[in-house]
Structure 1
Amino acid sequence: MAWYKTGTVAVTNGSGAVTGTGTDWFAALQVGWGFVGPDGRVYEITSVNSATSITITPTYQGSTASAQSYAAFPTRSLQADLADAVNQLITDYQASLDGPGAGLFADGTPALPGIAFDADPDTGLARPGSNQLGFYTAGVLRALLIGSGFTINVPILGTAVTQSITDATSGRLLKVGDFGLGAGSPPSISDFTASLKPGFYRYLEQSATGAPGGGFSYNGHALVLKSASGTVIFASREANAAAGQKSWVGARTADPGSITWYQIVTQAQLLGTVSQSDGVPTGAVIERGSNGNGEYVRFADGTQICTDVVSFNPTLATGYTAFSFPASFANGDISCAFSSVETNLGANKATLGDMYVVNNSTQWKVHHTQATGGTNFDVKLLAIGRWF
C-alpha cells in the first residue's frame, strides 16, 4: 500500500498535535500507522482526530515549522488488529449463531428485553419467568402470557372493541357503558316497535313510540331480552311518588313489530286508589275506604262491596227507611242483603222477618211492614255490584 503524502503539515516542538493542510486523514490514515515528520524522524499515530488533525507519539522532536512535507505509512499492527477483529467477529458470530441464529434469545430484563429494537431498546419481548412471555414498552410490562391465561395491563383499543354503545359486531369486546352496562347513561329508545338489540336502555314515556304507560313526561328504563323466537322487554318508570312508580312486561314475536304491555303489580299498586280508562284498570288493585255511610272495598276489575251497620227503630211505621251507600255503584244490577245482631234482636224477630231490601245506585232501602214495641236493634247492610 502506497504511503500517504497528500498536503502539508504544521508541527510544534514538544507537542504531539499535528495539523494538516489539504489533507484527508480521517479517510486515509489509521491508528498505529507510522508518521515521518519534517525532521526525518518516525513517529506512531495514536489518534486520527479529523481530516486535518492527528496525534503522534512521542511528541515532535524537531523544530516548530509549517507547510512541511511528511509521509504516513501502514505498519504490521494493521494486520494484527485485523486478525484480532476477525477473531472477535468469529466469536461474536458464533454466539449469534448459537443464540438468535438458532432461534434462541436471552431472557432479557424490563429495561433491555431479550428481543428488542436498536432505536428503542426498552421495548420488546422478555421471559420474566418459566413458561412466561412478557410484552414491554418503555421498560414496563404491558401484557403477560402464561399457561393459565393472558394478562393485559393496558386498555384494549381499535376494532377489537365495540365502536359505539350499540355496536353488536360479532367477536368484539364490550366496553364499559355499552348497552347500558357498567357506567354512564344507557342508550335511548325512541321506538319500542323497532328492532332492538339486547341490553339496558332509557326512554321518555311521552315521546317513545309504543312505550308503556299513559304517555306522561316520565323517564323510564328498559331491559331488552331476545331469543330466536321473540323479544321480551321489562320497562320501569322513574317517579318519586309511589303511585307513579310502575313497571311493565311486554313481548312480541315479530322483530320489528308492535308490543303488548302488561303492568306488573307492585306493593305500591296493590293497595291504593283504583281507577280505569275505557274499562282498563289504571290504578291500584284494591281500594278500601270508609265514611259516615259505612265502609267500601273496590277492586280493579270493577267489583265493589259496601257495608254498614245501622240502628233500626222497631216502632217505625210501615214503609221504607233509606241508608246511603258509602260509595256509589254504577247503574246496573246490585245485590243487597241484611242481617241483625243477635244480642240486640230480642223481641224484634218478627219485625226482622218482615223486612226486605230494595236497591238503587246510591242507597239501601229497608222496607218494614209492621211496627212493634221494643228497643232499637242493629242491622248489618251489604251491597255487591260494580263501580264501573
Structure 2
Amino acid sequence: MSIPGFSAFPEIPQRSTPEADFDARMSALFQHFAITHRAEMLAFIDFLENNSTVIGAALNGTTIGLNTPAAARFTTVEAGSLSGEAVQSSPADASAGKLLQTGAGGLLATNPPTLSDPAQLDVPAGIYSIAAADGWPFDGTLLQLRRNAGRGLQIAARGSSAAPNASSEVHVRTSGNAFGGWARLIHSEHLVGTVAHSAGKPVGAVIERG
C-alpha cells in the first residue's frame, strides 16, 4: 500500500484582496481544512496504524502496525521465542545469516546433533554425538574444529562408562582434503597397566608393571 498523498491548499488571500473575493477565498480555505484535509489526515493515520514506512524488502514483506499493532505482537516477541525464516530451522542448520537457537552446533545442548558419517569432510564446527555403529572409534562426543573447507581437527571422547578407563579415552585426527588416522591421547590413566598393541599401534598402557 502506497503512502496517501495530500492535495494542494487553496490560495491564501491577502489583506489587500477585495472584500468579496477575500471572503470567498477564506471560505474555500476553511472548507479545505474541514473536509478535504481532514479526510486526507484520517487516511494517513489509518496508513500508519496498519503499515510500516520502512521499505518492504527491509522487513521481508512483513506488515507492522506502528500505532496499534496486533494484540501481543511486540510483547510476544519480548516474552516468547523468535521463529520464522530468520531463525535456524534446527540446531544443525548452518545457513548464513540465521539467528542461532539454544543448542546450535551442540552448544548448551543436552543431546547434541548426531554426526553419522565419519567420512564427511565439510562438517560445520560444533559439538556432535557419535556412535561406533556408524564407524566412529566408539560411542561418544565429537568436537569439530574447522580451518577452512575440508581442513580441520576432530577430537572424539568416549561416552561409555564401561570399564575403568573407557570414559577417559580421547582420540584426535586431522583432515587436509582427506582424513588422517586416529591418534589416541595418552594420559595418566594409560601410563601403567597391561601393555598391548594392534597393528603396531599401542592400545593398552605405556608401561606394564608386575
Same-fold call, TM cutoff 0.5:
yes
**What is the alpha-carbon distance in structure 1 between the residues aligned to residue 95 and residue 73 of structure 2?**
32
- The answer to whether residue 124 in structure 2 is matched with residue 204 in structure 1 is no
Paired position in structure 2 for 1:53: none
Structure-2-length-normalised TM-score: 0.62
Paired position in structure 1 for 2:13: none
Paired position in structure 2 for 1:231: 152
One-letter amino acid matched to 1:124 = G
Out of 83, 90, 95, the residue aligned to residue 34 of structure 2 is 90
Paired position in structure 2 for 1:167: 93
One-letter amino acid matched to 1:90 = A
- The answer to whether residue 158 in structure 2 is matched with residue 243 in structure 1 is no
SS state of the match for residue 179, structure 1?
Answer: helix
Deviation for aligned residue 1:94: 5.0
Mark the runs of 5 or more structure 1 residues left unpaired by the alignment.
1-85, 106-114, 118-122, 127-134, 144-150, 213-217, 290-388
Aligned pairs for 1:91-240 (under 5 A) are 93-94=37-38, 97=41, 115-117=48-50, 124-126=65-67, 136-138=69-71, 141-142=74-75, 152-195=78-121, 196-205=123-132, 207-209=133-135, 211-212=136-137, 218-228=138-148, 230-240=151-161
**What is the alpha-carbon distance in structure 2 between the residues aligned to residue 139 and residue 225 of structure 1?**
42
Deviation for aligned residue 1:246: 0.4
Paired position in structure 1 for 2:175: 252
**What is the alpha-carbon distance in structure 1 between the residues aligned to residue 110 and residue 160 of structure 2?**
20
Structure-1-length-normalised TM-score: 0.36
2:172 and 2:185 in contact (8 A); partners too:
yes
Identify if the C-alpha distance between structure 1 residues 162 and 139 changes in structure 2 by more than 3 Å, giving closer, same or farther: closer
2:91 and 2:103 in contact (8 A); partners too:
yes
Deviation for aligned residue 1:142: 3.1
One-letter amino acid matched to 2:148 = A
1:192 and 1:259 in contact (8 A); partners too:
no
1:252 and 1:260 in contact (8 A); partners too:
no
Q: Which has the larger share of strand?
A: 1
**What is the alpha-carbon distance in structure 2 between the residues aligned to residue 171 and residue 140 of structure 1?**
23
Mark the runs of 5 or more structure 2 residues left unpaired by the alignment.
1-29, 51-63
- The answer to whether residue 204 in structure 2 is matched with residue 271 in structure 1 is no
One-letter amino acid matched to 1:243 = N
Deviations 1:28-77 (A, max 9, x none): xxxxxxxxxxxxxxxxxxxxxxxxxxxxxxxxxxxxxxxxxxxxxxxxxx
SS state of the match for residue 49, structure 2?
Answer: strand
1:193 and 1:259 in contact (8 A); partners too:
no
RMSD: 3.6
2:49 and 2:69 in contact (8 A); partners too:
no
Deviation for aligned residue 1:136: 4.8
Q: How many residues align?
A: 165
Larger radius of gyration: 1
Q: Which has the larger share of helix?
A: 2
Identify if the C-alpha distance between structure 1 residues 184 and 260 changes in structure 2 by more than 3 Å, giving closer, same or farther: same
